[in-house]
Amino acid sequence: MQAVILAAGEGTRMRPLTYTKPKVMLPVANKPILQHVIENLARAGVDEVVLVVGYREDTVREHFGDELEGVRIKYVRQTKQLGTAHALLSAKHLLDDRFMMLNGDAIVFEDDLKHLVREKSAIAVREVSNPQDFGVVDVENNSVKEIIEKPENPPSNLINAGIYVFTREIVNYLEKTPLSVRGEYEITDSITMAIADGFEFKAVRIEGWIDVGYPWDLLKANETLLSHVESKIEGEVEDGAVIKGNVVIGEGTVIMAGSYIVGPVVIGQNCRIGPNCYIRPYTAIGDNCHIGNAVEVKNSIIMSSTKVPHFNYIGDSVIGENCNFGAGTKIANLRLDEGEIAVNVKGRVVITGRKKFGAAIGDNVKTGINASINVGTLIGNNVFIGPGAVVDGVVEPNSKVY
């Protein structure tokens, strides 16, 4: 079966992490979100994927090429992001008679996908406690009657999961779909027209679901995925290193003596870890990283080629690729008053709902010795933070802070 995956948007709420790659390419448990999506599709029986790409599409094409786990991968460019119907229409020339459509930035699990794959025409629905904030699906006899956007009085607590099984006939409706109030061509409008014409969509419930909006949501997603990880040690573990719980260590990686790792933790290939570092649960470290002398990392995502070499503390944070931390640079992850952490996202204060969140840091950030990065800081890519500096709030890309 074929699946069309929408993967063209930046995901601006994920800035600064998306300055250099689209949201679907952000890693969770050491793989891009999109890779989790495709691998789960593969396990559910999908054998061809059409990726609708746009923003920073090079990063997607380079990572996946034309095949992953036996799944053929094709690409379609959506130059302007004019909505979900428009995105699917971009792939018109590649569509099979029946295909699945889903978003590349939300992870659905194998079992749920298997249920969908069987259907001829379907809409996945999820049960939530606050349906009024979503597109609510009115279901009758297992069929979708209507999708209503953010209704005041929701007819059910089932919402549209954004995962569909279509036959090729949907294309007719895509082409007729008018601009919506918010200025997009929306697939739900196309579906509404198809239902009006007598097409039937089965409502299929899905149970698992990992959705990410803000940088700190990656930590939650990482935590969820890592809690299912199983130990697999392909690198070298020196005598005197302690490994507890489920830990994955990639080929070519060396865990030096005195390192203390408590899983679930995944570490990529060709990393140098230690000596005497402390890696705590729910940490994902990419390839070619260096976690050095006495460093402590906890509940964090550290992307590939990043060096955290000496006396650093990284807690509840997401760190981009190719960063280098000066000796003693630390990230705070708890307010002194232990209050909930708020972060400035695109000029607006967003409550994270977390008591512990450190920083989200873009690619190629270099910090000096003894620099301090305060709770809830966002640092753009290519930033220099000088020795002894204290940073806070939002640091724009390419800036220097001394």
- CA distances to 14, 168, 375 from 385, in Å: 21, 53, 16
Residues 40-99 that bind its own copies (CB under 8 A): none
Which residue stretch of 26-34, 36-44, 95-103, 382-390 sits at the interface with its own copies (rule: CB under 8 A)? 382-390
Span from 60-68, 134-142, 201-209, 257-265 in contact with its own copies (CB under 8 A) = 257-265
Instruction: Please identify every residue annotated as catalytic.
Output: 310
Show the binding pattern over residues 347-376: x = contacts its own copies (CB under 8 A), - = does not: -------------------xxxxxxxxx--
Please report, as residue ranges, which positions from 259 to 278 form the binding site for its own copies (by CB under 8 A).
Answer: 260, 274-276, 278
The contacts of residue 103 (CB under 8 Å, 6+ apart) are 5, 6, 162, 163
In which region does residue 333 sit, left (phi positive, over 0), alpha (psi from -120 to 50) or beta (all else)? Answer: alpha
Q: Which range of residues in 50-58, 113-121, 154-162, 305-313 is near its own copies by CB under 8 A?
A: 305-313
Minimal distance, residue 218 CB to its own copies, in Å: 22
CB of 23 to its own copies, least distance (A): 28
Helix axis angle, 33-43 to 57-64, nearest 10°: 50
In whole angstroms, give the CA distance from residue 218 to residue 33.
9
Least spacing, CB of residue 378 vs its own copies, in Å: 16
In the beta sheet, which residues pair with residue 205? Answer: 125
Strand-pair category, 377-379 with 342-345: unpaired
**Residue closer to its own copies, measured from CB, 152 or 338:** 338
Residue 245 binding its own copies, by CB under 8 A? no
Site string for its own copies, 275-294 (x = CB under 8 A): xx-x-------------xxx
Among 56, 272, 310, 356, binds its own copies (CB under 8 A): 310
CB of 350 to its own copies, least distance (A): 21
3-state secondary structure of 194: helix
Residue 36 or 272: the one with the smaller Cβ distance to its own copies is: 272
Of residues 58, 97, 336, 348, which one binds its own copies by CB under 8 A? 336
Could you say which of 10, 192, 238, 355 contacts its own copies (CB under 8 A)? 238
| Run of H or E including 223 | helix 215-226
Token pair listed for 203? 């409502």
Among 151, 208, 388, 397, binds its own copies (CB under 8 A): 388
Shortest gap between Cβ of 402 and its own copies (angstroms)? 9
Query: Between 121 and 333, whose beta carbon lies closer to its own copies?
Result: 333
DSSP string, 70-130: TEEEEEEE-SS---HHHHHHHTGGG--SEEEEEETTEE--HHHHHHHHT-SSEEEEEE-S-
Q: Which of 91, 73, 77, 8 is nearest to 35 (CA)?
A: 73
CB of residue 59 vs its own copies: minimum separation in angstroms?
24
What ranges make up the beta strands (E) of 183-250? 202-205, 210-211, 232-233, 236-237, 242-244, 247-249
Question: Cα separation of 252 and 272, whole Å?
Answer: 9
| Measured distance CA(72)–CA(42) in Å, rounded | 10
Q: Which of residues 267 and 332 has its CB atom nearest to its own copies in the complex?
A: 332
Residue count at the site for its own copies (CB under 8 A)? 45
Tokens 């709770």, residue located: 375
**What is the sign of the dihedral through the CA atoms of 208, 20, 93 and 189?**
positive
Residue placing its CB nearer to its own copies in the complex, 151 or 258: 258
Closer Cβ to its own copies, 122 or 327, answer by number: 327
| 50 vs 371, beta carbon nearer its own copies | 371
Query: Which residues of this chain interact with its own copies, rule CB under 8 A?
Result: 238, 240, 242, 256-258, 260, 274-276, 278, 292-294, 296, 310-311, 313, 315, 324, 326-328, 330-332, 334, 336-338, 366-374, 384-388, 390
